[in-house]
Amino acid sequence: MAEAKRRSISFPRYAEYGCALKYIMEQALDVKYVMPPALTKHTMELGTKYSPDYVCTPFKTVLGSMIEALEAGADTLIMTHGLCRLGYYGELLEQILRDLGYQFDFINLSDYDMDKKKEYIKIIRRINPKVNPARCLAQFMEGLRMVEYLDEITGEYYKGCGFDPTGTEYKRAYQDFLTAMYTAHCRSDVETGYRAAKGRLQSIPLDKPAQPLRVGVVGEFYTAMDAFSNLELEQKLADMRVEVHRWMTMTNQFLHYGNGQKNLRIKIQDLCQYDMGPTATANIWYARQCAERGFDGLIHIKSAGCTPEIDVMPVLQNISADYKIPVLYLTYDVQTSDVGLQTRLEAFYDMIAMRKKVF
Amino acid sequence: MEHAYLGVDVGSISTKGVIIDKENNILASQYIWTQGDPIGAVKELVGLLEAQFDRERYKVVATGTTGSARKLVGTILGATMVKNEITAHAVGTTTFYPDVRTILEIGGQDSKIILVENGVAVDYAMNTLCAAGTGAFLSSQAKRLGIEVEEIGDYALRSTHPTQIAARCTVFAESDLVHKIQMGHPREDIIAGVCNAVASNYLNNVGKGKKIVSPVVFQGGVSKNKGVVAAFERALGCKVIVDPNGHLMGALGVAILAKKGSKRQEFDFAVENMEFHTREASCGKCSNHCEIICVYRGDELIDAWGNRCERGERTR
């Protein structure tokens, strides 16, 4: 029986959330987690080769990462559900991988009704029938706590990184934090790693002007968060001495706001009356929030063909006109070049920097 | 010796260079084709500029480069300022037209729109993913119709009934154009239709959602095409200013930026006789296999870039 063997489970690489997933799988559910290799051009080549051409870029990245995970020895793959086309991706990914001849068990969260708590128990039973769902709750919560810490430290990192006078200390503190999270085995590992990172980031004296340039990043769920997919947009901005703010994180989207984005929807009802997709409401709300707080610019990120985010763009244009805040729209595709992005970001930086001096 | 400043703009199709004095007067200027060889084009450009330039009276104390090959050319020329073309165009235009509100720019491979308020760029957009409606499209269609790209404007102005050409996408526009040719539309009307297609494609893509306010300045290589200028004036319902030096605006802008910059390095005209070559290497330190470009002066490696992490950095 396949169930008797301890599963080697994997999930495609997604920003740095792999560490939390690993923690949950290994500590709470007692299965082996196969960490897929870091995303590289090779991953993209693999994904592009076996994907339909017109599918959005995250699909290709995810497929590439799944292939790499299977090559690394995973026997079970998980795929998330989603509110846009993402909801259908699991099925398509499974079919493509089976056609390629891989043998694996595929847990597609789209098959479950994720609004019901009972379904979670079903999923846990399926992953590891020997685990008592009630007993693993504590470790599960620790894993979620890790997600919160990760987002908090990452947010702090991109706000301060550009103003680190040593140029390396901040980066090193962040890297050490990630290492600590990836290697955490128990609650105290998580807590110590977090506290150490928080302390280190705060102890580095920043050379920040009284009114630094502040840029808000909004956009599609995968590309906005995954540094590899957006060609390290946030790091590039930070390196130009910009304070980078991004609301869109796992923590905010799922843990803190989850199904409760109704209040955000009410706040933006003068801009748009309907919910337009998985991240539209939050993005519009946050874009206006940034504008009201006097940010110097907004950057809107989407992968080519992402319909929900295309719908957001006209609303952002209205915000841009109402609040006189420049918005840079970026579309990412497999072919998007680093140089092209650099040109646009440099121009954007020059513009907001010159603007700040005049207005 | 008076100070002078060199600005070089190396684009996909053409290479532009200017030398200006302290008052932004043009001392020497040149416009040549890049022809897929930015290094060769720049060496030729430097030679041509040197011939026009009074070396007894002036010396070049700062150099700026812009355009898609700015980094490569900046390394070769020892530039003190390497700036993206959007900023260069905005700075150049606002220096000569302080009241400008909208800058339209169409080059060989890209097109951009820059919105200006109080002499400062406040918003911009640049075409992504697709080169529809740029100079490359015009020149390939001119070739199809058997005329020189420089003549397009005159042909277009002679037309009284421009042909409707699908403007959404270059590929569709081209098939539609072939169809219209075979249907027997006169050549003048077709060319005027192509010019209209470029203008409407630009306004529907790059200019989408942007408020275009007069005065409007139009520049880049395509601004030399009177047919497109007329199409823009018709579509926008206002006058479109085309500077006689509009094609040099990027080079002028970066020369002005070099002048404003703090770095000073005397420019050596000897580069036109030096041997430069580039080599592409694949970094093998991880599976990303970054393509690293190495630039050599003779046999000496002068710079390298393209790596995404510090493992691929050049070691001396």
Confidence check on the interface: ipTM exceeds 0.85, yes or no: no
**Phi and psi based region of residue B253 (left: phi greater than 0; alpha: psi -120 to 50; beta: remaining):** alpha
| Extents of the domains making up chain B | 2-89+251-273, 98-242, 276-312
Note whether A237 and A339 are same-domain residues: yes
Distance from CA of B308 to the nearest CA of A (A): 9
Distance from CA of A80 to the nearest CA of B (A): 26
Strand, coil or helix: A297: strand
Q: How confident is the model at residue A277 (pLDDT cuts 50, 70, 90)?
A: confident
Any domain includes A218: yes
Note whether A179 and A58 are same-domain residues: no
Note whether A282 and A251 are same-domain residues: yes
CA distance B203 to A191: 54
Interface of B with A (CB under 8 A): 68, 83-87, 90, 118-126, 128-129, 209, 211, 286-290, 308
DSSP string, A213-244: EEEEEEE-HHHHH-TTTTTTHHHHHHHTTEEE
CA angle A114, A300, A207 (to 5 degrees): 110
Burial class (CB in 10 A: 0-12, 13-18, 19+), B51: exposed
Which of B285-295 are b and which e, b meaning 16 or more Cβ less than 10 Å from the residue's Cβ? ebebebebbbb
The answer to whether residues B51 and B73 touch, using CB atoms and an 8 Å cutoff, is: no
The answer to whether residues A275 and A268 touch, using CB atoms and an 8 Å cutoff, is: no
A314–B87 C-beta distance less than 8 A: no
- pLDDT at position A244, please? 95
Partner residue facing A350 (CB), from B68, B87, B308: B87
Q: CA A352 → CA A212, A250, A321, distances in Å?
A: 11, 29, 15
Supply φ then ψ for residue B31, to 5 degrees.
-135, 115
- pLDDT at position A1, please? 43
B83–A350 C-beta distance less than 8 A: yes
- pLDDT at position A26, please? 93
Note whether A264 and A349 are same-domain residues: yes
Burial class (CB in 10 A: 0-12, 13-18, 19+), A24: buried
Interface test with B, best of A46, A236, A344 (most B CBs within 10 A): A344
CA angle A145, A150, A156 (to 5 degrees): 125
Note whether A196 and A341 are same-domain residues: no
Any domain includes A25: yes
B128–A330 C-beta distance less than 8 A: yes
- pLDDT at position B240, please? 94
- pLDDT at position B128, please? 67
Q: What is the pLDDT of residues B219-260, one digit of tens each?
A: 988 888 999 999 999 999 999 999 988 889 999 999 999 999
The answer to whether residues A178 and A222 touch, using CB atoms and an 8 Å cutoff, is: no
Q: Could you list the mean pLDDT of each consecutive 10-residue stretch along chain B, which spans 316 residues?
A: 91 90 91 88 91 88 91 90 91 92 88 89 79 78 86 89 80 82 89 89 85 91 90 93 90 94 85 84 80 84 80 68
A351–B87 C-beta distance less than 8 A: yes
Q: What is the pLDDT of residues A102-154, one digit of tens each?
A: 999 999 998 888 878 888 889 998 999 888 888 888 999 999 999 999 999 99
Distance from CA of A343 to the nearest CA of B (A): 6
Predicted TM-score of the model (pTM): 0.88
Distance from CA of A115 to the nearest CA of B (A): 38
Closest residue on chain B to A68 (Cα): B287
Distance from CA of B315 to the nearest CA of A (A): 19
- Please give the single-letter amino acid code of residue A95: Q
A42 CB neighbours in chain B (<8 A) are 287-289
Q: How long is chain A?
A: 359
Note whether A245 and A350 are same-domain residues: yes
A351–B122 C-beta distance less than 8 A: yes
CATH number of the domain within which A214 lies: 3.40.50.11900
Tell me, yes or no, if the two domains B2-89+251-273 and B98-242 fold the same way.
yes
> For chain A, what is the mean pLDDT?
90
B119 CB neighbours in chain A (<8 A) are 358
CA distance B118 to B122: 9
B87–A347 C-beta distance less than 8 A: yes
The answer to whether residues A105 and A2 touch, using CB atoms and an 8 Å cutoff, is: yes
Note whether A215 and A353 are same-domain residues: yes
Partner residue facing B118 (CB), from A314, A317, A358: A358
Note whether A22 and A91 are same-domain residues: yes
Look at the alpha carbons of B122, B137, A301, A34 in this order and tell me if their dihedral is positive or negative.
Answer: negative
Any domain includes A163: yes
| Cβ within 8 Å of residue A168, ≥6 positions away | none
Closest residue on chain A to B115 (Cα): A326
- pLDDT at position B204, please? 85
Note whether A96 and A233 are same-domain residues: no
| Cβ within 8 Å of residue A274, ≥6 positions away | none
A329 CB neighbours in chain B (<8 A) are 125, 128
Partner residue facing B84 (CB), from A333, A343, A354: A343
> What DSSP element (H or E) covers A298?
strand A297-303
CATH number of the domain within which A87 lies: 3.40.50
For the B98-242 domain, the top CATH level (class) is alpha beta
- pLDDT at position B178, please? 86
CA angle B56, B60, B63 (to 5 degrees): 160
Note whether A199 and A267 are same-domain residues: no
Number of domains present in the structure of chain A: 3
Closest residue on chain A to B70 (Cα): A343
Q: Which structural domain, as residue segments, surrounds residue A304?
A: 209-359
- pLDDT at position B282, please? 84
End-to-end CA distance of chain B: 37
- pLDDT at position A2, please? 47
- pLDDT at position A37, please? 92
A42–B289 C-beta distance less than 8 A: yes
> What DSSP element (H or E) covers A86?
helix A86-99
Which of A137-173 are b and which e, b meaning 16 or more Cβ less than 10 Å from the residue's Cβ? eebbebbbbbbbbbbebbbbbbbbbbbbeeeebbeeb
Q: What is the pLDDT of residues A65-92, one digit of tens each?
A: 999 999 999 999 999 988 888 888 999 9
Interface of A with B (CB under 8 A): 37, 40-42, 232, 304, 313-314, 317, 320-321, 324, 326-327, 329-331, 333, 335-336, 338-340, 343-344, 346-348, 350-351, 354-355, 357-359
Note whether A188 and A283 are same-domain residues: no
- Please give the single-letter amino acid code of residue B232: F
- pLDDT at position B125, please? 87
B209 CB neighbours in chain A (<8 A) are 313-314, 317
Which of B92-107 are b and which e, b meaning 16 or more Cβ less than 10 Å from the residue's Cβ? bbbebbeebbbbbbbb
The answer to whether residues A43 and A50 touch, using CB atoms and an 8 Å cutoff, is: no
A326 CB neighbours in chain B (<8 A) are 122-124
A357 CB neighbours in chain B (<8 A) are 120
A331 CB neighbours in chain B (<8 A) are 128-129
Closest residue on chain B to A45 (Cα): B288
Partner residue facing B287 (CB), from A40, A232, A343: A40
- pLDDT at position A247, please? 93
Distance from CA of B187 to the nearest CA of A (A): 37
Distance from CA of A346 to the nearest CA of B (A): 7
Partner residue facing A42 (CB), from B83, B123, B287: B287
Closest residue on chain A to B305 (Cα): A339
Q: What is the DSSP letter of B89?
A: H
Domain closes at, from A179, A207, A235: A207
Nearest one of B312, B284, B15, B290 to A338, comparing CA atoms: B290
B121 CB neighbours in chain A (<8 A) are 350-351, 354-355
Tokens linked to B4 = 């002078």
Note whether A158 and A286 are same-domain residues: no
Distance of alpha carbon A31 from the chain centroid:
24
CATH topology of domain B2-89+251-273: Nucleotidyltransferase; domain 5 (3.30.420)
